[in-house]
């Protein structure tokens, strides 16, 4: 695996691979890699792509009171994991490379970024859309892979690529979970033992709620009871929502394709999860 830190070198090496007839599959990450990240890489390889991964902790997607400074950074371990997983190229830019002096552009996908996490993380999806737009322009992959764990982010990126006619295919990869159901996340390592034991309750609650919704119960009442159950276990719930999986608009009637979404804090750790409601 080759490693580069500049846009110029990244473009040159991707171009060299493309010139050999390879299709490029791109996996952007913020590092502190776990098996969820590596599942995106495995999918890219299974699809027959030469894989390019990036690690960039994007300051633009963190709010002033969020965990940018604390976010785990372990480039050497991550590079070893990517190498073992068969990645061909790792792009590891510094902040100045992505946001040089005078950088002044903000990419905003209207509506999709305004629901669910939007009100709780002002500016977050603009930060995501801006950096993903840049990374896609730098790497120019045939296909880019994103996790369904960040379902809203995936919809924002699909919207951005569609609206700006970017010539890349976006693939969503199912959420990889720990044995007890907790969605894998770089932020799980913030949890102490007591909170780690509680954390799977989010997924358990979503699954239970999905079963009840499928049987046609009262949506508002079911959401309220489930939310209280989570709160009684010490979570601070930002939202627990039943929404259209494509538009993300909250649903008050049973329509397809519907999903359940949750965001809740345990201590200083904010966890998110979502599942389809079949
Ligand atoms: P991050 O490093 O958190 O920005 O995540 C990089 C990519 O990995 C994003 O597309 C995430 O949605 C994806 N991802 C993170 N956790 C998981 C997971 N548990 N299962 C599948 N994909 C994931």
173 lines ligand 1 (CB under 6 A): yes
Element (H, E) at 273: strand 269-277
Alpha carbon 112 to its chain centroid, in Å, reads: 14
User: By the 8 A CB rule, do 171 and 145 touch?
Assistant: yes
32 CA closest ligand 1 atom index:
2
| Residue 210, phi then psi, degrees to nearest 5 | -60, -40
Which atom of ligand 1 is nearest the CA belonging to 183? 19
* Ligand 1 geometric centre to CA of 147 (Å): 5
Residues 82-92 have a mean pLDDT of 97
Instruction: Copy the structure tokens of residue 17.
Output: 């691979």
**Global pTM?**
0.98
Cite the active site residues. 37
pLDDT in tens, 130-153: 999 999 999 999 999 999 999 999
Query: From the centroid of its chain, how far is CA 149?
Result: 6
CA atoms within 13 A on the CB side of 121: 24
Question: Which are the contacts of 244, defined by CB distance < 8 A and separation ≥ 6?
Answer: 251, 255, 257, 258, 259
Hey, is 170 helix, strand or coil?
strand
Expressed in angstroms and rounded, the spacing between residue 185 Cα and the centre of ligand 1 is 7
- What value does the mean pLDDT of the chain take? 97
Q: Is the CB of 39 under 6 A from ligand 1?
A: yes
156-213 residue pLDDT tens: 999 999 999 999 999 999 999 999 999 999 999 999 999 999 999 999 999 999 999 9
Model confidence over 207-231: pLDDT tens digits?
999 999 999 889 999 999 999 999 9
* CA atoms of 259 and 277, how far apart (whole Å): 5
Contact 121, 146 (CB under 8 A): no
DSSP string over 183-200: BP-GGGGG--HHHHHHTT
- The whole-angstrom separation of Cα 153 and Cα 149 is 9
Name the token pair of 150. Answer: 């960040």
Instruction: Output the pLDDT for position 245.
Output: 96
Name the closest-CA residue to atom 17, ligand 1: 36
Ligand 1 centre to CA of 253 (Å) is 30
- Phi then psi for 104, rounded to 5 degrees? -140, 15
Residue 254 has pLDDT above 90, yes or no: no
């Amino acid at each position: 695996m080759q490693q580069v830190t500049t846009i110029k070198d990244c473009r040159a090496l991707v171009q060299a691979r493309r010139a050999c007839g390879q299709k490029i599959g791109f996996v952007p990450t913020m590092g502190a890699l776990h098996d969820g990240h590596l599942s995106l890489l495995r999918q890219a390889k299974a699809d027959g792509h030469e894989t390019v991964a990036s690690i960039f902790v994007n300051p633009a997607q963190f709010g002033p009171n969020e965990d940018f400074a604390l976010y785990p950074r372990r480039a050497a371990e991550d590079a070893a994991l990517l190498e073992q997983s068969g990645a061909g190229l790792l792009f590891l830019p510094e902040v100045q490379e992505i946001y040089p002096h005078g950088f002044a552009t903000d990419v905003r996908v209207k509506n999709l970024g305004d629901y669910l996490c939007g009100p709780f993380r002002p500016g977050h999806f603009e930060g995501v859309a801006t950096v993903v737009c840049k990374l896609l322009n730098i790497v120019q992959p045939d296909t880019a892979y994103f996790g369904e764990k960040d379902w809203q982010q995936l919809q924002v990126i699909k919207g951005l690529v569609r609206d700006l006619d970017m010539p890349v295919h976006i693939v969503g990869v199912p959420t990889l979970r720990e044995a007890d159901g907790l969605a894998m996340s770089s932020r799980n390592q913030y949890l102490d033992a007591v909170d780690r034991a509680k954390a799977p309750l989010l997924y358990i609650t979503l699954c239970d709620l999905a079963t009840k919704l499928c049987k046609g119960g009262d949506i508002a009442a079911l959401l309220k009871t489930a939310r209280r159950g989570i709160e009684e276990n010490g979570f601070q719930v930002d939202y627990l929502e039943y929404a259209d999986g494509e538009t993300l608009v909250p649903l008050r009637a049973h329509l397809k394709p519907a999903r359940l979404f949750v965001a809740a804090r345990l201590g200083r750790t904010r966890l998110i999860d979502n599942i389809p409601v079949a």
